[in-house]
């Protein structure tokens, strides 16, 4: 019975063992050399480093302790996937195992070395985490945004690579349009993705933040949030009508919003562009040291 194809999963992308085939070749012909990519090495733990391209930023302390207990009893069953860079081994897959090994102060860990560029590393890290459901919604969104900005991939191309629908990718990246305080509520689980999608129906950040605070304060479910958002939308429409006779602030460039969106896509995070009469500011938000490092790298700034 033939072995089913792995498809565009981790097995295919990480370069699994080639399928075995029957051969009737004469014994005088030498056998093919073994695939060195599958050779497991044991390397010092302090020579392994996490990747700045890792989309997952938050790791549960409790889950890491449980994994460390398992490794203490059984060892690291699945080797880490790494690439060599400047004399160290940079993680492609297996950061949870690496962190658990640190908790145990293991002297060395098993690794398989791969040759991979930055795009492949980000794709593999995303796929590994998505298949294991380890990413929170914002980490997933930032990963998609980074693929789009750094490697000029369309949402359709991203969807194919990670095994999601284009709509799922588009809905995920919309979360990056939320103001920073609302993103913080989402990241910490104080509001759900369902709440966030309803909040995005509000046109301005002030009301979006107000809605999120009400959800947290009153413990509103998604259906109740829909009612709250409807009321806020009605209030915003009324206020807009009341001030219709006052002069509006007209942006000097009608493409200002589009430019702000391009900046968000480029940096893979929330960016606010403020402009008035030839002056203004560009505000880039980040939510961890790793995200700051990634923004600096995009800008070509060395933090050292």
Q: For residues 174 and 105, what is the distance between their CA atoms, to the nearest angstrom?
A: 41
- Residue indicated by tokens 């940079």: 90
Q: Which of 38, 58, 73, 95 is catalytic?
A: 95
Q: Are 192 and 212 in contact (CB under 8 A)?
A: no
Q: Check residue 78 and give left, alpha or beta (phi > 0: left; psi -120 to 50: alpha).
A: beta
Is position 66 annotated as part of the catalytic site?
no
Residues 6+ apart with CB under 8 A from 2: none
Q: At what angle do helices 289-299 and 256-267 cross, to 10 degrees?
A: 110
| Two tokens, residue 34 | 């073994």
Q: For residues 81 and 113, what is the distance between their CA atoms, to the nearest angstrom?
A: 6
Q: For residues 136 and 186, what is the distance between their CA atoms, to the nearest angstrom?
A: 9
Using the CB atoms, write b or e for 7-30: b if 16+ within 10 Å: eeebeebbbeeeeeeeeeeeeeee
Q: Are 278 and 256 in contact (CB under 8 A)?
A: no
Q: Where are the beta strands (DSSP E) in the chain?
A: 41-44, 48-49, 80-85, 88-93, 108-113, 271-276, 279-284
| Consecutive H or E run containing 85 | strand 80-85
Query: In this structure, how many other beta carbons lie within 10 angstroms of the beta carbon of residue 293?
Result: 14
Q: What is the rounded radius of gyration, in angstroms, for the C-alpha atoms of the chain?
A: 24
Q: Check residue 125 and give left, alpha or beta (phi > 0: left; psi -120 to 50: alpha).
A: alpha
Residues belonging to the active site: 95
């Amino acid at each position: 019975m033939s072995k089913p194809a792995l498809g565009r999963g981790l097995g295919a992308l990480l370069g699994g063992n080639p399928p075995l085939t029957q051969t009737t070749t004469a014994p005088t012909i030498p056998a093919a050399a073994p695939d060195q990519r599958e050779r497991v090495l044991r390397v010092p733990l302090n020579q392994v480093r996490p990747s700045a391209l890792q989309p997952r930023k938050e790791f549960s302390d409790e889950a890491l302790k449980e994994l460390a207990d398992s490794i203490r009893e059984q060892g690291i069953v699945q080797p880490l996937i790494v690439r060599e860079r400047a004399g160290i081994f940079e993680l492609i897959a297996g950061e949870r195992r690496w962190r658990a090994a640190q908790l145990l102060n293991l002297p060395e860990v098993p690794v398989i070395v791969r040759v991979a560029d930055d795009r492949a590393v980000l794709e593999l890290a995303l796929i590994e985490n998505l298949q294991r459901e380890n990413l929170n919604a914002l980490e997933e969104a930032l990963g998609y945004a980074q693929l789009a900005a750094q490697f000029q991939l369309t949402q359709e191309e991203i969807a194919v690579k990670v095994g999601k629908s284009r709509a799922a990718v588009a809905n995920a990246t919309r979360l990056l349009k939320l103001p920073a305080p609302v993103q913080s509520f989402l990241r910490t689980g104080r509001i759900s993705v369902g709440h966030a999608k309803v909040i995005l129906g509000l046109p301005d950040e002030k009301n979006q933040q107000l809605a999120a605070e009400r959800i947290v304060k009153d413990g509103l479910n998604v259906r109740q949030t829909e009612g709250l958002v409807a009321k806020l939308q009605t209030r915003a429409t009324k206020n807009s009508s009341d001030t219709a006779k006052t002069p509006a602030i007209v942006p000097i460039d009608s493409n200002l919003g589009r430019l702000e969106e391009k900046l968000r896509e480029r940096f893979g995070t929330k960016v606010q562009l403020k402009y008035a009469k030839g002056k203004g500011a560009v505000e880039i938000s980040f939510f961890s040291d790793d995200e700051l490092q990634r923004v600096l790298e995009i800008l070509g700034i060395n933090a050292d």
